[in-house]
Amino acid sequence: MGLSKKAAIVGVDESDEIGICEGKTSLALHAEAARNALRDAGIDKSEVDFVATAGPSVMQICEYLGIQPSYMDGTSVGGSSFVIQVEHAVAAINAGLANVALITHGEMGYSARRGTASRGIDPRRFMDPELPSVQFEMPYGTGGPPSVYSLACMRHMHEYGTTHEQLAEIAVASRKWAQLNPKAFMREPMSIDDVLSSRWIAYPFHLYDCCLVTDAGGACVIIGADRARDLPKKPVWVLGSGEATTHTSMVNNPDLTQTPARYSGKRAFEMAGLTPKDIDVVEVYDSFTYTALVTIEELGFCEKGEGGPFLSKQRSAPGGDFPMNTNGGGLSYTHPGMYGMFLIIEAARQLRGECGERQVPDAKTALVNGTGGSLSTTGTLILGVD
Amino acid sequence: MTAPQRPIPHPTPETQRYWDGCKQHELWVPFCLSCQQHFFYPRRFCPSCFGWDIEWRRASGRGKLYTYSIQYRPQAPGFTPPYVTAIVQLDEGPRMMTNLVGIEPDPDKIHCDMSVEVDFLDLSDEVSLPVFKPARS
């Protein structure tokens, strides 16, 4: 149905290093990741005729990489961009407008905060005095994501009784996965009490409710069903996809306890002909512990408001019956600013059975949900292997 | 040495009426004559029904605290943590970002859905900013 199984993800990889990439630029991370993902796919750069990215303009990335594509996509909706671009690539391939799609990401989040590199996104674009957010929100001392995601979490706690302990369960489970991932940035053991005793960033968020800020790049390659089986790696089929947006600023979220994943997820499941019970591995954006919690509800893995109890008792940790964010997530593995690409990379690796110690046994289906902006925009992918 | 100044909003042609009201310490909100509801932020049309027949109405200044968070890291110049960022739902319907003032930044004292009322902070000779404080009982 729809775009189901019309194309597959056939190459994924990170930049050569992730975490702290001193001496590099965000553009260089795009290029390293592109080279590594194309190598993983066994495809030459000269075959790429669709390029998508977010951060720098897509024409900048095309020029930098030396690619002159016939189809391009610069959909720039924060961390969900790359997930949404997968759907766009599949659609373009299915329409016969493209053959080989390359999606790239690169950000120097860690180094930019220390003034040793630029992040890869011009912060001035968020500062235009005519923007409603600059006129009606920033005068109240709002700023980075913690200052507004905390508003959503507080309303959820008020309406559904979600607790700090339930949020901490997610951070701890992610850390356990990170301990099994050699590429993860934070691998020291962490307990619920460690989370609850960490300092406040924006109440109700403790420090360890908040994602990392790292340097990292990632890329993926998508190709039509006709060629996908002839490449070296097992094709990771796009079985379903959906995208949605409901607002840009948190204050304009129609219901602060919701996210557009309820719409993008519904469409993705319908396209795939699957339900939440059919999913073996879940990779959802965890800019904050709360982001993962609310997303699980919105996607229908549990009843609305039950995300806290559902994810308690380390259910999403290694060995639990709901493997989620198996690379350690944005909370413990890496999070350069727009994390969505890394959800795709991990889901593909799990489905190919490449994850070593953290491999989820017999994973045949995976769900990816990227979230961008202020719970503003989501892209959902349902992926599977033969 | 003077303290760094808080960000001061720059009115645009379509928001000028709002800021003019604030300068008089009055909260004025656009109202859609087609679908008969207030909306926020100001636009020349209603984002719900896309009607362009709108008028400005003075709001009561009363509402409920929809949600809040306590900022422990400075997000903007001129703010000293901890301070309370909040979303208030006006009795007329629309929600707006604001600061909750006149109460300790303490989760034991602040509660979602508590009644609040508007107050105004004069940021400059030209611009006053609506903030909210607990309603007088």
Is the Cβ pair A158, B112 closer than 8 Å? yes
Give the nearest chain A residue to B9 (CA atoms): A135
Under an 8 A CB cutoff, do A204 and B69 touch?
Answer: yes
What is the model's pLDDT at position B90?
98
Q: How many CB pairs under 8 A join A and B?
A: 108
Distance from the Cα of A34 to chain B's closest Cα (Å) equals: 35
Kindly state the helix (H) or strand (E) to which residue A370 belongs, with its residue range.
Answer: strand A365-372
pLDDT digits over B69-93, tens only? 999 998 888 999 999 999 999 999 9
Q: Which of A259, A334, A242, A336 is nearest to A293 (CA)?
A: A259
Query: Quick check: A231 contacting B, CB < 8 Å?
Result: no
- Mutation for testing the B interface, residue in A138, A140, A257 having most B CBs under 10 Å: A140
The answer to whether B107 faces chain A, any CB pair under 8 Å, is yes
Which residues, 6+ apart, have CB-to-CB distance to A248 below 8 Å?
A133, A373, A374, A376
Query: In whole angstroms, how far apart are CA A250 and each of A153, A160, A340?
Result: 11, 19, 19
pLDDT at B22 over 50: yes
What pLDDT score was predicted for residue B3? 57
Contacts of A247 (CB under 8 A, 6+ apart): A253, A254, A373, A374, A376
Q: Do residue A136 and residue B97 have CB atoms under 8 angstroms apart?
A: yes
- Cβ distance B67 to A154 less than 8 Å, yes or no, reads yes
Do B79 and A141 count as a contact with CB atoms less than 8 A apart?
Answer: yes
- Taking only the tens place, the pLDDT of each residue in B101-136 is 999 999 999 999 999 999 999 999 999 999 999 999
Place of tokens 């029904």: B49
Question: What tokens appear for A178 in the block?
Answer: 């990170």
Distance, first Cα to last Cα, chain B: 41
Closest of B85, B97, B22 to residue A146, by C-alpha: B85
What are the tokens at A8? 């597959």
Q: State the average pLDDT over residues A305-318.
A: 98
Residue A107: inside a domain: yes
Q: Nearest C-alpha of chain B: how many angstroms from A304?
A: 19
Mean pLDDT, all residues of chain A: 97
Residue A63 lies in a domain: yes
Query: Is some CB atom of chain A closer than 8 A to the CB atom of B33?
Result: no
pLDDT at B1: 43
Interchain contact, B71 vs A147, CB within 8 Å:
yes
Residues in chain A: 386
Residues A55-63, mean pLDDT to the nearest whole number: 97
A125 pLDDT band, cuts 50/70/90, is confident
Q: How far is A136 from chain B (nearest CA, A)?
A: 7
Q: Is the ipTM of this complex over 0.90?
A: yes
Which of A1-5, A112-116, B45-49, B100-104 shows the lowest mean pLDDT across its residues?
Answer: A1-5
Domain total of chain A: 1
Q: pTM for this structure?
A: 0.97
Q: What pLDDT, on a 0 to 100 scale, did the predictor assign at position B76? A: 83
CATH number, domain containing residue A64: 3.40.47.10
Helices (H), chain B: 16-23
Q: Is residue A156 part of a domain?
A: no
Nearest by CB to residue A155, choosing from B12, B67, B131, is B67
Query: What CA–CA distance (Å, rounded) separates A98 from A86?
Result: 13
Residue tagged 């030396």 (tokens): A66
Is B128 near chain A, with CB under 8 Å? no
Mean of per-residue pLDDT scores for chain B? 95
For the residues A202-225, what does the mean pLDDT come to? 98
CB pair distance less than 8 Å for B69 and A138: no
**Comparing A34-48, A107-121, A212-226, A231-245, which segment has the lowest mean pLDDT?**
A107-121
Q: Can you give the length of chain B in residues?
A: 137
Do the beta carbons of residue A39 and residue A13 sit within 8 Å?
A: yes
pLDDT band at B2 (very low <50, low <70, confident <90, very high): low
Look at residue B4 in the predicted model and tell me its pLDDT. 66
Distance CA A348, CA A355 (A): 10
Q: Is A68 exposed, middle or buried (0-12, 13-18, 19+ CB in 10 A)?
A: exposed
Separation between Cα atoms, residue A98 and residue A193, nearest integer Å: 51
Least confident piece of the model among A10-14, A141-145, A174-178, B16-20: A141-145
| CA distance linking residue A27 with residue B51, whole number of Å | 45
Residues 182-221, chain A: which have Cβ within 8 Å of B?
199-205
Task: Give me the domain span that covers residue A95.
Answer: 7-115+210-384
Q: Is residue A281 part of a domain?
A: yes
Query: DSSP state, A336?
Result: -
Asked if residue B66 has a cis previous peptide bond (ω within 30° of 0), the answer is no
Partners of B96 on chain A (C-beta within 8 Å) are 136, 251
User: Nearest to residue A297, comparing CAs of A146, A174, A170, A138?
Assistant: A170
What are the extents of the domains in chain B? 16-134
The answer, for B134 touching chain A at a CB cutoff of 8 Å, is no
Residue A1: pLDDT band by 50, 70, 90 thresholds? low
Q: What pLDDT band is residue B34 in, cutting at 50, 70 and 90?
A: very high
Domain assignment present for residue A24? The answer is yes
Q: Do B97 and A132 touch (CB under 8 A)?
A: no
Find the mean pLDDT for residues A288-302. 98
Cβ pair B111, B55 in contact under 8 A? no
d(CA B27, CA B58): 6
C-alpha A207, offset from chain centre: 20
Q: Would you say residue A127 has pLDDT above 80?
A: yes
